[in-house]
Amino acid sequence: MNAASQQLETIPVTRLKGVGAALEKKLNSLGIHNLQDLLFHLPFRYEDRSRIASIGSISAGETVQIQGEVVSTDIQFGRRRSLRSTVKDNSGFITLRFFHFSNAQKSSLAVGSQVRCYGEVRRGRSGLELFHPEYRVVRENEDIVVEDCLTSIYPTTEGLGQTRLRSIANQALAFLPPNADGDSIVGSTLQELLPDELIKKYRFRSLVDAIRLIHRPPLEAPLSWLSEGKNPGQHRLSFEELLAHRLCMRRFKSDAQQQSAPKFSDSPALVASFLEALPFTLTNGQQRAYKEIADDLARACPMLRLLQGDVGSGKTVVAALSALHAIAQGYQVAIMAPTELLAEQHFANFCQWFEPLGINVGWLSGKTKGKARITQLASVDNGDCQLLVGTHALFQDEVIYAKLGLIIIDEQHRFGVHQRLALREKANQHALNPHQLVMTATPIPRTLAMSAYADLDNSVIDELPPGRIPVNTAVISNDRRDQVMQRIESACKENSQAYWVCTLIEESEALQCQAAEVTAEQLTLQLPDIKVGLIHGRMKPQEKVAIMQRFKQGDLQLLVATTVIEVGVDVPNASLMVIENPERLGLAQLHQLRGRVGRGSTRSHCILLYQTPLSKAGKQRLSVMRESTDGFYIAEKDLELRGPGQVLGTQQTGLMSFKVADINRDADLLDQVKEASELVLEKYPEIIDPLIQRWLGDNVLYANV
């Protein structure tokens, strides 16, 4: 890295005019510490402030810039206190209205002041009004020129307005040279990390030009330049960011291959006994995935493998076979699931499968208390417990493994990365690293697999067990609730069982459980001949297990539940599911819920009971569910509609919180990124560290989970 480029990275933001300690703190909260950070803090949309509209010509709904004289300013009292200021030019009058204001603001809008304002025109109490416009006072004899480029709107934080942020961004831009080869005002520039070979091959702008083009786009550019991904500067930076992420993932994979892990050779006796006891034979997809995992486990470097399979494809059996390899060699296995209910299902399955083989299966959750907890922790510590099933409690400080050799994480995207990292580090107390198997019933779209999971080898179980009939899905308005009741009644009278799922009302488990309780009471009254059960997240674990057991045995015909039944619940006799307010859920979650029916040999149905009116996004989601039962297609559509952060559950981690790139919008870049990453690894390894540092910074740690 040359001295010139280092200067820009090491020039603090306090070097800029008007940036004192208070503003520095606000900028730091946005991840901005130096001038390079500021230049990489990019706008997310543009506005056109290149002309001043006459007040008499504007109408409601327009976003305009006006300039005029303040003729009155007063505080109005009503339902909400507001500051009202009337402004006139030679064509008419308009009101500025502020519901949040200070005395200083009131003073600045003194009668006789000249102001320039920008905002959306709305119809208000006194005719046309600008609500909370951006404005500045024009001093006497001051001639403010209109913008000569589109105006950038930046992500910001409380107490840091757009005008101030734009001002300091413009100061930082002045540090760049006038063109890619020129000198800047302090002899510094951004370091061009991409090799010329790649820039020429893909016809990219230089880094300096790209940055300038995003911050100060020409007036003729469309306002949608950023949202549509058409800005050439943005295109260049998206590529560089995706490349940094992929190189980071590839590095972790490469580092893992340099580490040592225990070699687990085949365990024919245990595996044969296990397979013999199963009431079914493995599908071709299961056999193929198992062979790929067994090959990895036989190597002396840690396995990092993602096992994907649609709902009901039999991933747990493959995980059990994998666990037998570690146990046969005297190592322990940890199986972590995101919810108590799913962990309990795994515990029940593994006890049923493994205890006849003489394997000690343990259980640990946050609710394991007192003597039971002490006994279980001791059993893990001394090695008696060979396989430990549980929730995030598996990685707490007090849990010490004697010899952890394999970690199996179910529904990995439902965990925060800190949790996954902590479990992996549990095994690093020993010289050998554990193998990792990550399972998901939410298929990862190809675009995400190429970026977020580039460090994992991929196994896919691409077929369902024979005899499974696809679930028929109907989308029905809540106005027809009575017909849905009749459907449930007739299904239960034919010795079938049904689920009624109450979705989240707000981000509150208490409200969700309350809604389920009310619904259960109503259904009990409306269907007096049907035995109704209730299960929700606030019940004690033993209560949930007891209710599920009764439902499984057929004592209950209708189970009212919250989304706690989303994963892991297996009742083959249940052939009807009603999901209330499905428009509140993402596609992947709806697909998971629907997967609770259709597990037997009878035709199953899922009714999506929506509230009118439906939003456009709600209509799109529900029509995808009606059209398809293919989890991979649904995952692609979910990514398209909701974005990668929500699909992965990693918005809080920084892993997929891209600064510029958008996985969905920039999917066409991924093949180029993959090709470029191989070229960089082979010919330009010296740029890998600076690239990763530029784009991921401190988030690097969390990518390796």
Helices and strands in the chain, H and E counts: 25, 21
Span 337-359, pLDDT tens digits:
887 778 888 998 999 999 999 99
Place of tokens 């009292």: 77
Co-location of 394 and 489 in the same domain: no
The pLDDT of residue 370 is above 80: yes
Co-location of 478 and 454 in the same domain: no
Strands 605-610 and 472-477: parallel
Query: What is the DSSP annotation of 160-180?
Result: --HHHHHHHHHHHHTTS-SST
568 close to 554: Cβ distance less than 8 angstroms: no
Co-location of 355 and 417 in the same domain: yes
Range of the domain at 18: 3-46+154-228
98 close to 105: Cβ distance less than 8 angstroms: yes
Co-location of 246 and 374 in the same domain: yes
Residue 704: pLDDT band (50, 70, 90) is very low
pLDDT score, position 569 = 67
CATH number of the domain to which 56 belongs: 2.40.50.140
Co-location of 257 and 387 in the same domain: yes
- Pairwise CA distance, residues 703 & 705, whole Å: 6
The pLDDT of residue 188 is above 80: no
Tokens of 383: 């090695």
- Is residue 27 in some structural domain? yes
At 169, the amino acid letter reads A
Residue 652: pLDDT band (50, 70, 90) is very low
At 568, the amino acid letter reads G
Q: Tally the domains of the chain.
A: 4
- What mean pLDDT is predicted for residues 1-6? 43
Entry pTM: 0.68
The pLDDT of residue 631 is above 50: yes
Q: How far is CA 105 from the centre of its chain?
A: 39
pLDDT score, position 484 = 95
Tokens of 341: 């209910």
> What phi and psi, each to the nearest 5 degrees, are found at residue 643?
90, 160
Handedness of CA 678, 684, 686, 690 (dihedral sign): negative
Domain end call among 212, 228, 244: 228
Span 156-187, pLDDT tens digits:
998 898 989 999 999 999 988 876 454 455 55
The per-residue b/e assignment along 350-359, b for 16 or more CB within 10 angstroms, e otherwise, is: bbebbeeeeb
- Pairwise CA distance, residues 565 & 589, whole Å: 11
Domain end call among 146, 169, 191: 146
Cis peptide bond N-terminal to 218, omega within 30:
no
- Is residue 649 in some structural domain? no
pLDDT score, position 423 = 57
Handedness of CA 153, 155, 161, 163 (dihedral sign): negative
Co-location of 572 and 614 in the same domain: yes
Q: What's the whole-number average pLDDT of the chain?
A: 86
- Is residue 644 in some structural domain? no
Strands 497-502 and 532-535: unpaired
293 close to 341: Cβ distance less than 8 angstroms: no
- CB-CB neighbours of 228 under 10 Å: 11
Task: Supply the DSSP symbol for 608.
Answer: E
Co-location of 607 and 691 in the same domain: no
Closest among 172, 169, 192, 648 to 414, alpha carbons compared = 648
- Pairwise CA distance, residues 442 & 412, whole Å: 10
Strands 63-76 and 114-124: antiparallel
Span 450-491, pLDDT tens digits:
666 777 788 999 887 777 788 999 999 999 999 999 999 999
78 versus 118: which is more confidently predicted? 118
Co-location of 246 and 180 in the same domain: no
397 versus 425: which is more confidently predicted? 397
Co-location of 192 and 308 in the same domain: no
Place of tokens 């999506």: 608
Say what percent of the chain tops pLDDT 70: 88
CATH number of the domain to which 581 belongs: 3.40.50.300
At 127, the amino acid letter reads G
Tokens of 263: 């070699």
CA gyration radius, the chain: 30
- What mean pLDDT is predicted for residues 234-250? 91
- What mean pLDDT is predicted for residues 653-668? 70
pLDDT score, position 170 = 94
- What mean pLDDT is predicted for residues 79-94? 93
Residue 516: pLDDT band (50, 70, 90) is confident
The pLDDT of residue 301 is above 80: yes
- What mean pLDDT is predicted for residues 190-200? 93
Domain end call among 228, 258, 289: 228
Co-location of 460 and 493 in the same domain: no
